[in-house]
Chains A and B, each alone.
Chain A
Amino acid sequence: MKALILVGGFGTRLRPLTLSVPKPLVDFANKPMILHQIEALKAIGVTEVVLAINYQPEVMLNFLKDFEAKLEIKITCSQETEPLGTAGPLALARDKLIDESGDPFFVLNSDVISEYPLKEMIEFHKSHGGEASIMVTKVDEPSKYGVVVTEESTGKVERFVEKPKLFVGNKINAGIYLLNPSVLDRIQLRPTSIEKEIFPKIAAEGKLYAMVLPGFWMDIGQPKDYITGLRLYLDSLRKKASPKLATGTNIIGNVLVDESAKIGEGCLIGPDVAIGPGCVVESGVRLSCCTVMRGVRIKKHACISSSIIGWHSTVGQWARVENMTILGEDVHVCDEIYSNGGVVLPHKEIKSSILKPEIVM
């Protein structure tokens, strides 16, 4: 089976992290974002993954060579020369997605994390016999998105409504599709929206079905949602009683600690914390609701909450970092500094406190 992952553009909403690496390679729960999806696809027998990208292909390709070898799955790139929207890239990658088997192929959106119940989706797709299946997820504020209206019993999609003003439903497109090769015949090689142009046509013919996504769903394309997403992800690990979660007297709630990270005495870590490879957390440190990426050093007595600390940064002794502070790569927060929502670009030293949310270039 084959799969396409829509990687798209510049990831500007995840700056300053995406100033250092392309968005799919930004770490989430100690793994590059895109690896979560590639592993889920590999687990259900996908043999080839095509990445539809339009930015920094050289960086992506280098990284992918490593993963191709380790995971034993074929990974190729399909590079857009002009932005093709959400459907155009499928036409571009057509030859890679179709083979003699006539099997359907997956399409995933790279910003999305979920439990990826792809096996159940294959069964759902076979049982309804339609042309395309999409996952939908229930949200609290459907009017912010495009709502998918379905027939209750079969899941057959009746119509899509963009940002409805009256309540028509609370399920939105979760960005996970399973499509028969015939769908490719409907897509021309030009900027096309799969939600606005392709799916409505398939729905009108009664051939599009939606399955409600079990478990959590999050679009982690921006820092606030990234932090919420980590909480949901770690929560789902807890529900599966995953051995990956850390335990100990200094751990509260769900915490992920890479085996090469070191944690000192007298720390209190959690809830909802991910500590990446090679990190050093010195003694007396308090961490909650935060991500600490590869190679970071958190010095003694520091306190970090609701923040993202980028690769190879350091946080000084007694520093307090909170309220959606995002440190880019190689940022050094000096001792005793307070950061309230500072967004700091790579290679900076923070020598004076940031009292209210501010971008430091």
Chain B
Amino acid sequence: MGGSEERVVAVIMVGGPTKGTRFRPLSLNTPKPLFPLAGQPMVNHPISACKRIPNLAQIYLIGFYEEREFALFVSSISNELRVPVRYLKEDKPHGSAGGLYNFRDQIMEESPSHIFLLNCDVCCSFPLAEMLEAHMSYRGMGTILVIKVSPESANQFGELVADPVTNELLHYTEKPETFVRVSDRINCGVYIFTPDIFTAIQGVSSQRKDRATLRRVSSFEALQPANRSLPSDFVRLDQDILSPLAGKKQFYVYETTDYWEQIKTPGMSLKCSGLYLAQFRRTSPDLLASGDGTKNAAISGNVYIHPSAKVHPTAKIGPNASISANARIGAGVRLVNCIILDDVEIKENAVVIHAIVGWKSSIGRWSRVQASGDHNAKLGVTILGESVTVEDEVVVINSIVLPNKTMNVSVQEEIIL
């Protein structure tokens, strides 16, 4: 496959603070990329996948968070996984491609032959080694990971058409307006490029600068809405690179048939935690818990329990439950499809179904925290923020509770500020 010349670098876009309000209330206390799915921070999953890339030299995390929010994580993950990880803070928005270009010097430091670009809030199996192999056979500027989706859900995504034989990207538009959809394949947000991508991005920048100069000369140009207001260093991968270069034998697609979801909301993070738990069942089942209710609690389906968590043997856990560090699960507790975060105490006989229970929260005896389980609905998964107390026998259904609140009366369908 490649000698010492074929060094690969991976870049993971982790996003930023004020932009991501959809992940509230969980993002009020923790940066979204560090929120745990199946017991590991969200960004761990693509990072671990990158380890499977042959000749991986470096992983970069690029985002808008303050450096100190990632400093601890980056040093511990570098040690744990034995792969160099660095966090780079963007000073201002440059667009999905502009961000990559902004840090081209660091990225090209070790003269990589290939550069992976991944979005942190994508949940999938990350078949990166296979993607690299396919990309090298296509010999284009880039290869995009794509997946087939149902026609109904395809409408929320861009239109992507590829040649079935050569896998060349023929056509790409962001969220088309025409009703007739010709393709059921969508862009997964995972890409691999050769360093030529930087030339392409620079081309877009220069073109915009020239148009800006032209605008000052011609007032007609200035009135065109498409030309207004985008700074020349703001380059979007989809609209500015993929769309114009589709059909020019530059970009190709690699299709995955595994799962794929975007992790935009707390509800979706619960769904994706379940997907990763199922993945562990296939690839690393020893990470998952087991028990039959005799010496250890009864476990049903895929369950992750942190080694420091204490679970009473009469509790029944799962399917799709994830219990974080130092959590205490009392006697007779039932947990189904939920994420229990660090230091949570769940008292005797309580029931938690389709919910996320925030760090240090306390769930009272015989209380019930549940939701409909519709991961896409605004109140379809009950979310309790940090340090929320649900008193004994209280019921909280289809609700969101912000940090530091005490629930002493039952509620349904509410947001508690």
CB distance from B417 to the nearest CB of A (A): 4
User: Looking at the complex, which one of B21, B28, B404 makes contact with A12 (CB distance below 8 Å)?
Assistant: B404
The answer to whether B18 has its CB under 8 Å from any CB of chain A is: yes
The answer to whether A343 has its CB under 8 Å from any CB of chain B is: yes
User: Cα distance A9–B25 when bound, in Å?
Assistant: 19
Decide: B417 and A359 in contact? CB cutoff 8 A. Answer: yes
CB distance from B92 to the nearest CB of A (A): 16
User: Cα distance A48–B403 when bound, in Å?
Assistant: 33
Q: Which residues of B contact A359 (CB under 8 A)?
A: 415, 417
The answer to whether B405 has its CB under 8 Å from any CB of chain A is: yes
Chain A: how many interface residues by the 8 Å CB criterion? Answer: 13
The answer to whether B402 has its CB under 8 Å from any CB of chain A is: yes
User: Looking at the complex, which one of A12, A19, A345, A348 makes contact with B405 (CB distance below 8 Å)?
Assistant: A12
The answer to whether B24 has its CB under 8 Å from any CB of chain A is: yes
Return the CB mask of B359-401 against A: 1 if under 8 Å, else 0. Answer: 0000000000000000000000000000000000000000010
Decide: A348 and B21 in contact? CB cutoff 8 A. Answer: yes
Instruction: List residues of A (311-361) whose CB comes within 8 Å of B's CBs.
Output: 330, 343, 345, 347-348, 359, 361
Return the CB mask of B122-141 against A: 1 if under 8 Å, else 0. Answer: 00000000000000000000
Q: Which residues of A contact B18 (CB under 8 A)?
A: 330, 347
Decide: A19 and B28 in contact? CB cutoff 8 A. Answer: yes
User: Cα distance A35–B207 when bound, in Å?
Assistant: 55
Decide: A361 and B404 in contact? CB cutoff 8 A. Answer: no
Q: With contacts A19-B28, A361-B21, A361-B25 known, is A343 near B404, CB below 8 A? A: no
Q: Which residues of B contact A10 (CB under 8 A)?
A: 403-404
CB distance from B252 to the nearest CB of A (A): 37
Decide: B400 and A361 in contact? CB cutoff 8 A. Answer: yes
User: Looking at the complex, which one of B400, B403, B405, B417 makes contact with A16 (CB distance below 8 Å)?
Assistant: B417
User: Cα distance A99–B18 when bound, in Å?
Assistant: 48
User: Cα distance A185–B126 when bound, in Å?
Assistant: 66
User: Cα distance A348–B24 when bound, in Å?
Assistant: 12
CB distance from A337 to the nearest CB of B (A): 17
Q: With contacts A9-B404, A10-B404, A361-B400 known, is A15 near B417, CB below 8 A? A: yes
Binding site for A on B (CB under 8 A): 18, 21, 24-25, 28, 400, 402-405, 415, 417
Decide: A361 and B415 in contact? CB cutoff 8 A. Answer: yes
User: Cα distance A144–B28 when bound, in Å?
Assistant: 33
User: Cα distance A19–B28 when bound, in Å?
Assistant: 9
For B19, the closest partner residue in chain A by CB is A347
Q: Which residues of B contact A343 (CB under 8 A)?
A: 417
Q: Which residues of A contact B25 (CB under 8 A)?
A: 361
Q: Which residues of B contact A361 (CB under 8 A)?
A: 21, 24-25, 400, 415
User: Cα distance A12–B24 when bound, in Å?
Assistant: 16
Q: Which residues of A contact B400 (CB under 8 A)?
A: 361
- Minimum-distance CB pairs A-B, first 9: A15-B417, A347-B18, A10-B404, A359-B415, A361-B24, A12-B405, A12-B404, A348-B21, A347-B21
User: Cα distance A19–B21 when bound, in Å?
Assistant: 13
For B406, the closest partner residue in chain A by CB is A12
User: Cα distance A12–B21 when bound, in Å?
Assistant: 19
User: Cα distance A288–B154 when bound, in Å?
Assistant: 47
How would you classify the secondary structure of chain B's contact residues: helix, strand, loop or mixed?
Answer: loop
User: Cα distance A287–B67 when bound, in Å?
Assistant: 42
Q: Which residues of A contact B21 (CB under 8 A)?
A: 345, 347-348, 361
Q: Which residues of B contact A12 (CB under 8 A)?
A: 402, 404-405, 417
Instruction: List residues of A (1-48) whose CB comes within 8 Å of B's CBs.
Output: 9-10, 12, 15-16, 19
For B417, the closest partner residue in chain A by CB is A15
For A349, the closest partner residue in chain B by CB is B21
CB distance from A82 to the nearest CB of B (A): 13
For A13, the closest partner residue in chain B by CB is B417
User: Cα distance A19–B417 when bound, in Å?
Assistant: 10
Counting chain B CB atoms within 10 Å of each CB, the highest count among A347, A359, A361 belongs to A361
Counting chain A CB atoms within 10 Å of each CB, the highest count among B28, B400, B417 belongs to B417
Q: Which residues of A contact B415 (CB under 8 A)?
A: 359, 361
Known: A347-B18, A348-B21. 16 other contacts (CB 8 A): A9-B404, A10-B403, A10-B404, A12-B404, A12-B417, A15-B417, A16-B417, A19-B28, A330-B18, A343-B417, A345-B21, A359-B415, A361-B24, A361-B25, A361-B400, A361-B415
User: Cα distance A330–B19 when bound, in Å?
Assistant: 12
Q: Which residues of A contact B405 (CB under 8 A)?
A: 12
For B23, the closest partner residue in chain A by CB is A361
For B414, the closest partner residue in chain A by CB is A359
For A16, the closest partner residue in chain B by CB is B417
User: Cα distance A348–B21 when bound, in Å?
Assistant: 7
User: Cα distance A345–B417 when bound, in Å?
Assistant: 10
A-B contact pairs, 13 of them (CB 8 A): A9-B404, A10-B403, A10-B404, A12-B404, A15-B402, A15-B417, A19-B28, A345-B21, A347-B18, A348-B21, A359-B415, A361-B25, A361-B400
User: Cα distance A19–B25 when bound, in Å?
Assistant: 11
For B25, the closest partner residue in chain A by CB is A361
For B27, the closest partner residue in chain A by CB is A361
Q: With contacts A15-B417, A361-B415 known, is A345 near B404, CB below 8 A? A: no
Q: Which residues of B contact A19 (CB under 8 A)?
A: 28
User: Cα distance A347–B64 when bound, in Å?
Assistant: 15
Q: Which residues of A contact B402 (CB under 8 A)?
A: 12, 15
Q: Which residues of A contact B404 (CB under 8 A)?
A: 9-10, 12
Instruction: List residues of A (210-261) whose CB comes within 8 Å of B's CBs.
Output: none
For A358, the closest partner residue in chain B by CB is B415
User: Cα distance A345–B404 when bound, in Å?
Assistant: 16
User: Cα distance A208–B142 when bound, in Å?
Assistant: 81
Q: Which residues of B contact A347 (CB under 8 A)?
A: 18, 21
CB distance from A334 to the nearest CB of B (A): 16
CB distance from B49 to the nearest CB of A (A): 31
CB distance from A85 to the nearest CB of B (A): 15
CB distance from A311 to the nearest CB of B (A): 14
For A348, the closest partner residue in chain B by CB is B21
Q: Which residues of B contact A330 (CB under 8 A)?
A: 18
Q: Which residues of A contact B28 (CB under 8 A)?
A: 19
CB distance from B35 to the nearest CB of A (A): 16
User: Cα distance A319–B404 when bound, in Å?
Assistant: 34
For B28, the closest partner residue in chain A by CB is A19
CB distance from A352 to the nearest CB of B (A): 15
User: Cα distance A48–B21 when bound, in Å?
Assistant: 41
User: Cα distance A21–B404 when bound, in Å?
Assistant: 15
CB distance from B411 to the nearest CB of A (A): 13
Q: Which residues of B contact A15 (CB under 8 A)?
A: 402, 417
CB distance from B405 to the nearest CB of A (A): 6
For B18, the closest partner residue in chain A by CB is A347
For A343, the closest partner residue in chain B by CB is B417
User: Cα distance A110–B88 when bound, in Å?
Assistant: 42
For B22, the closest partner residue in chain A by CB is A361
CB distance from A11 to the nearest CB of B (A): 9
User: Cα distance A37–B415 when bound, in Å?
Assistant: 33
Instruction: List residues of A (254-305) whose CB comes within 8 Å of B's CBs.
Output: none
CB distance from B290 to the nearest CB of A (A): 38
